Amino acid sequence: MRNQQKQPPMVAPVTGRFAPSPTGPLHFGTLLAALGSYLFAKSSGGRWLLRIEDIDRPRTIPGAADALLTLLERLGFEWDGEVIYQSHRCDRYQQILEQLQADQQVFPCSCTRRDILASAPQVGEEGPVYPGTCRDGAYGERLERAIRLRVPDEEISYYDGILGLQSQNLEKEVGDFVLHRVDGLFAYQLAVVVDDIDAGVTQVVRGADLLSSTPRQIYLYRCLKVVPPDYFHLPLAFGRNGKKLSKRNGRIGLVDVENGVEMLWQALVFLGQSPTEELRDATPAELLCWGRENFQAKAIPMENRQIEF
């Protein structure tokens, strides 16, 4: 009888994604998230999906999504499958919300922001911690209701692929959080989790400004009995004024066709990679190809840093 060697287990390729909000033109901070998520997924032979997070309609700028997609194509990015728009998925979010309601994991809340500010015993990273006022029944007189997810008094811990072990007590540091807003819109935390589940996303690479959202999303995965993806939070780029580079900084750090290669080169350097000076004269496709073939995840720094343009 021949000895049979045990075959190593098959490892499914990762599925990553880039999920920008169409609230303005592409800037360096968003490019870091695009490039980082692209390199993590593509360097390992995985899929890279693209989703437009336009669920917050009041903040969405007409034409911004189309402009962003066109620019990403001009910069050499190629994504797998069709682009998903959150604004087209409200029926799905409602279905999941009703599932959570049937499981008695959510409750209606009539509190205004002023009510919460007046009654919150402590303040967390994102403002006053919701004290559970309406857990046992809507307390205030306001007829409109938000829907909140009931959270436990326990540590939600996970390992971030860049920043290491992370932990947060949801009840003490955040409180029961909103899934459906009082204005009738679905909240980011619900939409992003449902979208990632339905798309089969196994790897989330994004900026460290979303680090504090991750425990809420992991707990929501638990409520839905789904294994959460792996998380990697990239360092943030700050300007001379010490503030995070974003659309609010005017034209500082904006990315366009003319400066695209230089911005991609700068983004690779910012993420701890080592592109040569000669690559500053490459095409966007050549620069991304170099990034895929030479990507070193361990080289990504943990610290936020200042960058000047």
pLDDT of the residue at 144:
78
End-to-end CA distance of the chain: 69
- In whole angstroms, what separates CA 306 from the centre of its chain? 22
Residue 219 token pair: 């707990």
What is the rounded distance in angstroms from the CA atom of residue 86 to the CA atom of residue 54?
6
Strands 127-128 and 123-124: antiparallel
pLDDT of the residue at 138:
72
Task: Give me the residues paired with residue 232 across strands.
Answer: 205
Q: Do residues 129 and 174 lie in contact, with contact meaning Cβ atoms separated by under 8 Å?
A: yes
DSSP state of 152: -
Strands 146-149 and 106-109: antiparallel
- In whole angstroms, what separates CA 124 from the centre of its chain? 20
The 3-state DSSP class for residue 206 equals strand
Domains (ranges, CATH) in the chain? 15-88+235-306 (3.40.50.620), 91-190 (3.40.50.620)
Annotated active-site residue 247? The verdict is yes
For residue 296, is it left (φ>0), alpha (ψ between -120 and 50) or beta? Answer: beta
Catalytic residue among 42, 225, 243, 247: 247
What pLDDT tens digit does each residue of the chain (309 aa) get? 344 455 555 567 899 999 999 999 999 999 999 999 999 999 999 999 999 999 998 899 999 999 999 999 999 999 999 999 999 999 999 999 999 999 999 999 988 888 777 776 666 667 788 888 889 877 766 667 899 999 999 999 999 999 999 999 999 999 999 999 999 999 999 999 999 999 999 999 999 999 999 999 999 999 999 999 999 999 999 887 767 776 555 567 889 999 999 999 999 999 999 999 999 999 999 999 999 999 999 999 999 988 876
Q: Do residues 305 and 270 lie in contact, with contact meaning Cβ atoms separated by under 8 Å?
A: yes
